[in-house]
Amino acid sequence: MADDSVHSLMDNNPEETVIPHEEAVTGNQNMSKRQMKKLLKQQKWEEERELRKQKRKDRKQQRRLQRQSQDKQEEEEKQDAVGQDFRKRPRREVVPSSLRLVVDCSFDNLMLMKDVRKLHKQIQRCYAINRRAQHPVQFYVTSLGGQLKQSMDEKDKGWVNWKDISFETEHYSEVLAKEELVYLTSDSPNVLEELDLKKVYVIGGLVDHNHHKGISFERAKERGIDHAQLPLNSFVKMNSRKVLAVNHVFEIILVYLEKGSWEEAFFTILPQRKGAVAVDKGDAATPEKGEDSDLEPATNTAEQTEEKLKYSCNRH
């Protein structure tokens, strides 16, 4: 072995050990003991490069799983609390709202199946919460087809029996009057101060890891449809990206219809992991163009387990 011969030479002449030319990588005829140690150290470093890389990947994956587990637990606790609050209300308190909410599912071809399944769960959550809301809205799911319909057929065949919801294969602009539409997107310069019950508010059904940022805003402009963003920046400061899932936007609107307060709606629904704090009245943040979306679906949204969602949907 080359390493054994090198160490043997070093032991015989510790002060100025040299090795044959063919054993040297520096191109010099002679190599000192110090140079040899440096060479061996470098060789060991190179040999362990892949091992170090794999260890870093393992640590990163472990941290990601821990965060996801924590986020899921926090979200389930919040959703359980909200669900219990809805269930405690006597049915006589329920007063349906004339407000219409649409989940626009025309982005199906831009998503991977794993993200389509996340959108499916978010729609399940919207349906379940709307069925228990004090002021349930008129709920539409448009452009239903492709991967989303495949996921629903495979994972929740009972969706065809859902009540108080309209599933449409057509685009929302073909189902509802154009002049009544308002697309909710944080890229819009318009801030929604209050809800107009005569309007139809559209939420983009897109889970894409932020790869297509601003696409819903651009499509709304192309079709000449009004657009606006929720007044999140006026009430909330967060220590993370202002990215909310479809069901979060949906639930915020339901709570606003009940409480009449955007601030209360935001702090009731926003996940704890967002680290949301109230904006001081004299320090209200102004929306900035290009800021991370506060209305488009999050990539790491924590939903209830599929079993809970199915149970909640099927019982209604």
Helix, strand, coil share (%) of the chain residues, nearest 5: 55, 10, 40
> At 196, is the secondary structure helix, strand, or coil?
coil
Give me the half-sphere count of Cα atoms (radius 13 Å) on the Cβ side of residue 131.
Answer: 16
Q: How are beta strands 277-278 and 236-237 bridged, if at all? A: antiparallel
Q: Which residues pair with 142 in a beta bridge?
A: 104
Tell me, yes or no, if 196 is annotated catalytic: no
Catalytic-role residue among 208, 226, 292, 294: 208
Axis crossing angle, helix 262-269 with helix 49-88, rounded to the nearest 10: 130
Q: How far is CA 81 from CA 14, 131, 200, 201, 271, in A?
A: 74, 16, 28, 26, 12
Which two structure tokens, joined as six digits, stand for 240?
């993370």
**Is there a contact between 208 and 110 (Cβ–Cβ < 8 Å)?**
yes
Active site residues: 208
